[in-house]
Amino acid sequence: AQKITQTQPGMFVQEKEAVTLDCTYDTSDPSYGLFWYKQPSSGEMIFLIYQGSYDQQNATEGRYSLNFQKARKSANLVISASQLGDSAMYFCAMSYTGNQFYFGTGTSLTVIP
Amino acid sequence: DVKVTQSSRYLVKRTGEKVFLECVQDMDHENMFWYRQDPGLGLRLIYFSYDVKMKEKGDIPEGYSVSREKKERFSLILESASTNQTSMYLCASSLGRRSTEAFFGQGTRLTVV
């Protein structure tokens, strides 16, 4: 069964605007971690941000923030002030113990000048 | 700087050939993974290893095998390459704790002709 769902295959955003990339997950385990990765056209996977299931506050890393709604089982990535270099594939992932990571199908983000 | 290094960025192999994809990490991580990435399907786990000589099947192990003789090295083997194994292959490693991310190599784009 799909554990991570990303429903937006492609998104467009104007430069300097904010954009939200959706991620929902499915688990009955109370302890888990949620991750977002960026994959530019060069192919490498770049870790962006982490949210633990017990964390009370939403994670933030510079222009990235994670809108964590535990009851809805959603972990949306918010990118503020989009830049041309943000154009990439973005993947949401979940891990229970760090021994396995479950990835979504990804969202392709294009930033328009 | 932490590093996961895959031996090749691009490979072209013939149908029926035995193919070796090598991955080395310098972070002393217990866990190592091989994923396959295809458009619209996200990252799918082929195999992972949580210790030397230990391995576990992922979601799509058919047609693949792995070897982990040393902690830092994890090899993916295509016993008899087929055209449907043309894909991007990503190696990753992790510390094995819930809050720690997986680190990825640069990827190997394999074409089987």
pLDDT in tens, B35-56: 999 998 999 999 999 999 899 9
Q: Is B60 on the interface with A (CB under 8 A)?
A: no
Distance separating alpha carbons of residues A53 and A26, to the nearest angstrom = 13
Distance separating alpha carbons of residues B22 and B10, to the nearest angstrom = 12
The single-letter code of the amino acid at A63 is R
The first and second tokens of residue B40, run together, are 């619209």
Q: What is the mean pLDDT of chain A?
A: 94
Taking Cα atoms as reference points, which of B21, B23, B30 lies closest to residue B71?
A: B30
Q: How confident is the model at residue A99 (pLDDT cuts 50, 70, 90)?
A: confident
Question: Given phi > 0 = left and psi -120 to 50 = alpha, else beta, which region is B96?
Answer: left
CB B21 within 8 A of CB B65: no
The first and second tokens of residue A72, run together, are 């809805």
Q: Is B1 on the interface with A (CB under 8 A)?
A: no
Closest residue of chain B to A35, computed from CA coordinates: B101
Q: How confident is the model at residue A5 (pLDDT cuts 50, 70, 90)?
A: very high
> Which residue of A35, A47, A95 to mutate against B (max B Cβ within 10 Å)?
A95
